[in-house]
């Protein structure tokens, strides 16, 4: 038998930063004491007593064949202004190290299934800031946002895989500031979105490529909350415009405008 892991240019699950998923029942059975202990054979055997794995097998290796193997992409975004840098463990594996506030990771490939996610202050393995669960579906592109809070510390945002015309830019707005008021969104002094609320993800809208003026106004008073006078959008790309920050902080609100994976990722 040919070991595909030794073939140059052939990607397998062993090359992935994200661990393998478990079943819905399996993720619920993960020990609360093992947030930073990656699943090994012994754990899998306990969860699936009918499956006997060879003693010399330490990991299931799955080849990634474009157009055939079902997988997704996921990245993490730190949007909690109350926390410093964080480490993120997925099914016990450390996949993110020292992620700073307002920063994104690169997109990582992941297989469909269930995952437990634990967020810790960078460099620690005790007293997690939050523990959450996610179910990834194949051929999707996700952004998992750390937003803080005890009961809903993550928000999963799904990028829309759509055809992108070269002469058009696509934008949507995502409000992740917990103490910001409802807001109206203006592009070049034209109202494009009304009543944007916390955790809301707007629909996509088509915009002419080039430089634009972005204003966020208080929904009730009309006062300008935040302005970006030189928002640059390129044709054939999709963007999410994230509103983050603390209204009571000296820095206040900010907008983060990353390029979405749907603009360049391939399956």
Q: Which stretch, 11-25, 93-107, 242-256, has highest mean pLDDT?
A: 93-107
pLDDT digits (tens, 9 = 90+) for 62-108: 888 878 889 999 999 999 999 999 999 999 999 999 999 999 999 99
3-state secondary structure of 107: coil
Which are the contacts of 199, defined by CB distance < 8 A and separation ≥ 6? 147, 155, 175, 176
Please state, in angstroms and rounded to a whole number, the distance separating the CA atoms of residues 18 and 197.
32
pLDDT digits (tens, 9 = 90+) for 166-186: 999 999 999 999 999 999 999
pLDDT at position 57, please?
45
Which among 46, 63, 45 has a CA at the least distance from the CA of 54? 45
Tokens at residue 42, please?
Answer: 């012994």
Mean pLDDT of all residues belonging to the chain: 88
Sign of CA dihedral 177, 180, 181, 185: negative
User: Are the C-beta atoms of residues 21 and 113 closer than 8 Å to each other?
Assistant: yes
151 or 100: which carries more pLDDT confidence? 100
pLDDT band at 42 (very low <50, low <70, confident <90, very high): very low
Neighbours of 151 (CB within 10 A): 6
Q: Residue 36 class from Cβ within 10 Å (0-12 exposed, 13-18 middle, 19+ buried)? A: middle
pLDDT digits (tens, 9 = 90+) for 216-229: 999 999 999 999 99
Tokens at residue 62, please?
Answer: 């799955």
């Amino acid at each position: 038998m040919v070991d595909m892991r030794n073939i140059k240019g052939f990607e397998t699950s062993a090359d992935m930063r994200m661990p393998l998923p478990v079943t819905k029942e399996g993720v619920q059975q993960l020990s609360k004491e093992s947030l930073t202990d990656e699943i090994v054979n012994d754990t899998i055997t306990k969860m699936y007593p009918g499956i006997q794995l060879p003693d010399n097998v330490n990991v299931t290796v799955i080849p990634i064949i474009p157009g055939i193997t079902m997988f997704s992409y996921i990245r993490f975004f730190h949007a909690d202004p109350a926390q410093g840098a964080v480490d993120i463990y997925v099914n016990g594996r450390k996949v993110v190290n020292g992620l700073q506030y307002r920063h994104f990771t690169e997109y990582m490939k992941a297989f469909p299934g269930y995952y437990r996610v634990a967020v810790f202050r960078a460099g620690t393995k005790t007293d997690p800031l939050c523990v959450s669960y996610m179910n990834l579906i194949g051929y999707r592109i996700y952004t998992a946002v750390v937003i803080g809070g005890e009961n809903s510390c993550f928000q999963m945002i799904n990028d829309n895989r759509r055809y992108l015309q070269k002469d058009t830019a696509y934008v949507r707005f995502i409000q992740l500031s917990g103490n910001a008021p409802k807001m109206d969104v203006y592009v070049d002094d034209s109202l494009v979105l009304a009543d944007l609320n916390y955790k809301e993800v707007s629909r996509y809208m088509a915009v002419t490529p080039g430089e634009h003026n972005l204003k966020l106004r208080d929904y009730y008073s009309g006062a300008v909350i935040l302005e970006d006078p030189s928002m640059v959008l390129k044709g054939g790309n999709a963007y999410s415009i994230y509103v983050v920050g603390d209204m009571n902080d000296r820095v206040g609100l900010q907008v983060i405008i990353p390029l979405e994976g749907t603009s360049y990722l391939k399956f």
